[in-house]
């Protein structure tokens, strides 16, 4: 069993819809949670970062962490074709520790 | 522009050949990493370094070697290339290892390697 599970998709939505992405994890020691966006043939780029449980909002993006359920989510409001990419969740146990990545979910936003 | 630079962008190797993937960063980051990404899969850590002269294995180190003689450079060496090493290789760096301050990793644009 993988430490971090993520549905590979693809997730196809019409422009303007809400995109809902999630990851589950098995190790309760994870405390730092991130979402990376990766465009085709590019390296991942940090999108959102949260520490421990709670919500964080940044423009059209909202990240949620539920440590009791070992479940994290990313919501993209008013999705745009430019949001079409692969979204990777990542998490670490403590400062100074390495990141563990999910397999990524491919998202397609159709005009 | 500041960031992580990887060379080459593409390479085709024959089985048994060797090569070095170059990675350089100009952000004075202490931590550097090498990942491989296979189609439909996430990133798997090959090796990482917490500073010049210090390296350690990740989850898939077999068939690879690294060195870190300077803060800026972190080359990845493939010895005796095998088809299983066909992948996209990403180098990344961060000022700390665990994103305590939310810096995240800065990734290079990748090297696409095919072993035939």
Q: Across the strands, what pairs with B27?
A: none
Question: Per the CB < 8 Å rule, is A44 touching B105?
Answer: yes
Whether residue B98 has pLDDT greater than 70: no
Q: Across the strands, what pairs with B77?
A: B20, B65
Could you give the CA distance from residue A25 to residue B41 in angstroms, rounded to a whole number?
16
User: Please, which pLDDT band fits residue B36 given cuts at 50, 70 and 90?
Assistant: very high
Is residue B100 within 8 A of residue A33, CB to CB? The reply is no
Per-residue pLDDT, B102: 57
Question: Per the CB < 8 Å rule, is B98 touching A94?
Answer: yes
Could you give the CA distance from residue B85 to residue B64 in angstroms, rounded to a whole number?
10
- A8, A96, A104 member nearest B97 (Cβ): A96
User: Please, which pLDDT band fits residue A53 given cuts at 50, 70 and 90?
Assistant: confident
Chain A residue numbers with beta carbons less than 8 Å from the beta carbon of B48 are: 98
Contacts of A77 by beta carbon, 8 Å cutoff, 6+ apart: A18, A60, A61, A62
Question: Per the CB < 8 Å rule, is B105 touching A99?
Answer: yes
Please give, rounded to a whole number of angstroms, the shortest distance from the CA of B82 to a CA of chain A: 23
Is residue B98 within 8 A of residue A93, CB to CB? The reply is yes
Question: Per the CB < 8 Å rule, is A92 touching B99?
Answer: yes
What is the tens place of the pLDDT at every residue in A86-95?
999 999 887 6
């Amino acid at each position: 069993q993988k430490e971090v599970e993520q549905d590979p998709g693809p997730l196809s939505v019409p422009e303007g819809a809400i995109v809902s992405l999630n990851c589950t994890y098995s190790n309760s020691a994870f405390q730092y949670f991130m979402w990376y966006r990766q465009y085709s043939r590019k390296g991942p780029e940090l999108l959102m970062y949260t520490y421990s449980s709670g919500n964080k909002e940044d423009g059209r993006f909202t990240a949620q962490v539920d440590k009791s359920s070992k479940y994290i989510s990313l919501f993209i409001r008013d999705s745009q074709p430019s949001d079409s990419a692969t979204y990777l969740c990542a998490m670490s146990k403590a400062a100074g520790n390495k990141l563990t990545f999910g397999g990524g979910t491919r998202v397609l936003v159709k005009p | 522009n500041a960031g992580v630079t990887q060379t080459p962008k593409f390479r085709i190797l024959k089985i048994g050949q060797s090569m070095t993937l170059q990675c350089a960063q100009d952000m004075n980051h202490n931590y550097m990493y090498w990942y491989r990404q296979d189609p439909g899969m996430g990133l798997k850590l090959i090796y990482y370094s917490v500073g010049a002269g210090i390296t350690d294995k990740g989850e898939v180190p077999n068939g690879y070697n690294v060195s870190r003689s300077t803060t800026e450079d972190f080359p990845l060496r493939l010895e005796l290339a095998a088809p299983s090493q066909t992948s996209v290789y990403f180098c990344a760096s961060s000022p700390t290892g665990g994103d305590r301050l939310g810096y995240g990793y800065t990734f290079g644009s990748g090297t696409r390697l095919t072993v035939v």
